[in-house]
Amino acid sequence: MCGVDDETTGHVLWWCAAAQCVWGCCGGSINKSVVMKDDFFSIFCYLCDRLDTDELELFAIIAHKIWLRRNSMVFGGPIPSPSCLMKGAKELLGDYRKSSMDAANWENGSPRALSRWSKPAAESIKINWDAALDVRKKRMGVGIIARNDMGDVKAALCTTLPYIQNPTVAEAFGARRAVEFAREMGFSSIEIEGDSREVVLALGNSGDCCVSYGNLVSKTRVLLSSFPHWKIAHVGCDENKAAHYLAKLAVSQFCQMCG
């Protein structure tokens, strides 16, 4: 955005004057951080040692917003001001935290969980996935979130894929991407959860999968077999809210970027 040739991710998301204007609006420990690193991964690792969880979550969302703003400029779309970008990031973080909260009601004067995300076994990583379709824009989004047995978010991903008309096929694509993501992150013991009963049953069954997305199921089973420990389970939508929100975010942010 500042005209520097051969921009690196570290420059785009941190060192660029346009990015620094955004971080200047952030305040707190993020704004005060003095990072002597060039690439973004090194910057992120440096901040991981110095920021608390709430600050890291805000940092990740702001960085994502800065990247989208850069892409919007490249493709001739709108360029939000630093203050508007910061406001949107904080609202998005608030929505994300709200979607991750346990749903509860009151019974005999005490809270009772209606349906909530449950922790994986010790030393395992639970990975929830979901898919969302935008028929008008002809895109599908995938949302993935990985959490440890303490409930801490270890990694998350929202991405778009070419438009798929069938929702179940979209979910099958999402499941495969979730397992790929787990392998990319280096997880060894995983528990996969999704709210598509058909896809979960197909992946959990070792027999032939005679459906339109059978090839996807077969490839995902091969990927799963590379993990020392894995299991897959179907959950309701309430237990899968965070992944669902990320999938919707993937579609909406892609549409924003393309105007």
Residues 34-54 pLDDT 10s: 776 677 778 777 777 777 878
- The answer on pLDDT for 146 being more than 90 is yes
How many DSSP H helices and E strands does the chain contain? Answer: 10, 7
- Global model pTM greater than 0.75: no
Q: In which residue are the tokens 């990031």 written?
A: 89
Where do runs of H (alpha helix) occur along 110-240? 167-184, 197-204, 214-224
**pLDDT confidence of residue 258:** 36
Give the C-alpha distances (Å, rounded to integers) separating 59 from 31, 93, 207, 218: 10, 10, 45, 38
The answer to whether 133 and 170 have CB atoms below 8 angstroms apart is yes
| pLDDT bracket for residue 228 (50, 70, 90) | very high
**pLDDT confidence of residue 110:** 41
Q: What's the chain's length in residues?
A: 259
| pLDDT bracket for residue 213 (50, 70, 90) | confident
**pLDDT confidence of residue 30:** 78
Name the percent of the chain lying above pLDDT 70: 83
**pLDDT confidence of residue 120:** 92
Q: In which residue are the tokens 């349906």 written?
A: 115
For the four alpha carbons of 95, 96, 99 and 100, in that order, the dihedral sign comes to negative
Q: Which residues contact 136 (CB under 8 A, 6 or more apart)?
A: none
The 10s digit of each residue's pLDDT in 77-100 is 778 888 888 888 888 878 776 655
- List, as one string, the DSSP characters of 37-102: -SSHHHHHHHHHTTS-HHHHHHHHHHHHHHHHHHHHHHTT-----HHHHHHHHHHHHHHHHHHHSP
| pLDDT bracket for residue 3 (50, 70, 90) | low
The domains of the chain, with CATH numbers, are 9-98 (no CATH), 119-257 (3.30.420.10)
